[in-house]
Copies of this chain bind each other. A is one copy, B any other.
Amino acid sequence: MAEEKLPTRADDFAEWYNQLVIRAEMADYAPVRGCMVVRPYGWALWENIQQALDKRFKATGHMNAAFPLLIPKSFLEKEKEHVEGFSPELAIVTIGGGEILEEPLIVRPTSETVIGYMYAKWIKSYRDLPVLINQWGNVVRWELRTKLFLRTLEFYWQEGHTAHATAQEAQEETLRMLDVYADFAINEAAVPVIKGIKSPTEKFAGAIQSTTIEAMMGDTRALQSGTSHFLGQNFAKAFNIQYLDVNNTLQHCWTTSWGLSTRFIGAIIMTHGDDQGLVLPPRLAPIQVVIIPIYKNDVERSAVTEVVEKLKSELGAFRIKIDDRTEVTPGFKFNDWEMRGVPLRIEVGPKDVEKGTLALSRRDHPGRAGKSFVPQTGIASNVADTLDDIQKSLLARATVFRDANIHDPQNYEELKEVVTKGWAYSWWCESPECEARVKEDTKASTRCIPIDQTSGSGTCVVCGEKATKKVYYAKSY
C-alpha cells in the first residue's frame, strides 16, 4: 500500500510513462518478449475508443467483417513494396496439427493481401462497388524495441479496406476516413492532431499515398496516431480485383486501407498525463466520476451512505465508481484515482450531509484550484457541465502546448536546434535527400505535409531550393 511517487515527466518522461501504464493497471508485460496484456482498465478505455470510431464508420456506410489471422506466405510476396516493408517483421507458423506445413503461414501483420484475395472473389460488377469493410482485430509485427501500447509484437486495431470503381472515389474515401480519425481524436480524445500527407519515404509499404494524423506528446515528440492510405491499383493488380463497368469492360478496382490501433491509448496518456498520473478525457474515460464516502464512525457512515446512494441513482447517465474500500484512507483514494486519471471526484462527508453540499474535484486542475463545493440539488446537470468543461479544457490546453512547441526555424542551424525541443514547420523542396539529411543530423523525420496549409512558396530550409510545401519535422515515437 506504500505509495511511491512516479518519476516526474521533466526528469524522465519515458520512465514516467512506463511506470504509469503499469501502476494505473492499463497494461502489463506478457510472458513473451514484446507482447502486452491489456488489463481491464485499459481495455475499457479501448472499448470506448472502439465505440466512438465504430459509430463513425457505420455512419459513413461501412460494415465490419472478420478475415483470417493466418495468411499464405506467397500472398505477401505478390506486392513488391509490401513484402519488402513487412518481411523483417513476420511471425511464421511452420507447424500445424503436428506436421510441418507445405506452405508456411504468416500471422497477419496487416490484411491487405488476404482481403484483396477475397475481394477478387466477391466483386464482379460495378453494382458491387464500393465495397466498404472494416475489421477489428489483432495483428503481429516482430518489433525489436517495444513499449507498452506504442510498439508491441501483437497489437489491437481496426483496419478498413475499401474497393472503388474510380481513383477519385478511392481518394475521397482516403480523406473521408482521415477526417473521421481527426474528428474522433479532437472531439472524443481531446488530442489536437494535425492531418497531413506522409512523404514517399515515410508512407505505407504498397501505398500510392499515405495520410496521417500526427499528435504532439507531452515531451514534444510526435506520434503517428492513425493512417489512411490510397493504394491505387497496386493490390487490385496483384490480386486481380476486377469489375465489369457499365460498358461491360473489365477494370481493376482502386482500393484504400486505413487503421487506428491501441497505440492511440499511448497518445492519450502522453498528451494529457501529468506528474500525478493519467488525465483521461471525460468522453472516453472508463470511469467519469468517482464517489468517495468519508466518515469516522457508524452514525456518520450511515448518513453519508444515504447521500451516496442517492447520488448513485441520480448519476445513472454517467460511468461512476463508488470507492467504499475500508482498508485504505480517503487520502490514499484521492491519490489513487488521480493517478488513474478519473476526470471528476465527488467527496461526501458528514459536513456535506449536514449542509446539503458535495465537494467536487476536477482532475484537470489538481489540488485546491480544481476543488469546489456545490449543492446536492441539481448534481446531475452540474456533473454534465463540469465534464463538458473538462473535455474542452483538455483540448485547449493540449492545443496551446502543441502550438507553443511548433517552431519556424529561419535556417538549417535553427532547424537542428528546434527539433531537439519541439517540431519544426518549414518549407521543403520535397527531395528525399533533404529529408534524409535532417534525419541523419537530428533523428527528426518528416511527419506530414499538412493538408490545410495556405498556398505559397519559400525556400527549403535544408538546401535553399524553391519549395511550395511546408512540412513538419519532429522526433517521433
A interface, CB within 8 angstroms of B: 28, 30-32, 35-40, 42-44, 46-47, 63-72, 75, 87-98, 104-105, 107, 114, 117-118, 121-122, 127, 133, 137-138, 140, 142, 144, 153-154, 156, 327
Contacts and interface: CB of A to CB of B under 8 A. Distances in A.
A64 B37 contact: no
A114 B90 CA distance: 22
A71 B140 CA distance: 13
B68 A35 contact: yes
28 contacts: A28-B121, A30-B67, A30-B118, A31-B72, A31-B75, A31-B114, A35-B68, A37-B65, A37-B66, A37-B67, A38-B65, A40-B63, A43-B63, A43-B66, A46-B66, A66-B138, A69-B140, A69-B154, A70-B140, A87-B98, A89-B97, A90-B98, A92-B96, A95-B104, A96-B153, A107-B107, A127-B327, A138-B138
Nearest to A134: B40
Given A65-B37, A65-B43, A66-B156, A32 B92 contact: no
B133 A40 contact: yes
A140 B91 CA distance: 15
Contact of A68 (B37, B67, B68): B37
Contact of A32 (B28, B35, B71, B127): B71
Contact of A114 (B30, B65, B104, B122): B30
B72 A32 contact: yes
Contacts of A65: 37-40, 42-43
A60 to B, nearest CB: 14
A44 B58 CA distance: 11
B140 A137 contact: no
Closest 10 CB pairs of A and B: A97-B142, A40-B63, A92-B95, A38-B66, A35-B68, A30-B68, A94-B94, A96-B142, A43-B65, A40-B65
A142 B100 CA distance: 12
A337 to B, nearest CB: 17
Nearest to A140: B69
Contacts of A88: 97-98
B43 A64 contact: yes
A171 B352 CA distance: 43
A221 to B, nearest CB: 25
A207 to B, nearest CB: 23
A107 B89 CA distance: 17
Given A44-B63, A92-B93, A36 B68 contact: yes
Nearest to A95: B92
A95 B87 CA distance: 12
A65 B138 CA distance: 13
Given A47-B64, A91-B97, A92-B95, 9 more contacts: A35-B70, A37-B65, A37-B66, A38-B65, A39-B65, A43-B66, A88-B98, A91-B96, A94-B95
A457 to B, nearest CB: 44
A410 B302 CA distance: 64
A43 to B, nearest CB: 5
Contacts of A105: 32, 91
B67 A40 contact: no
Contacts of A44: 63-64
Given A40-B65, A63-B43, A138-B138, A97 B144 contact: yes
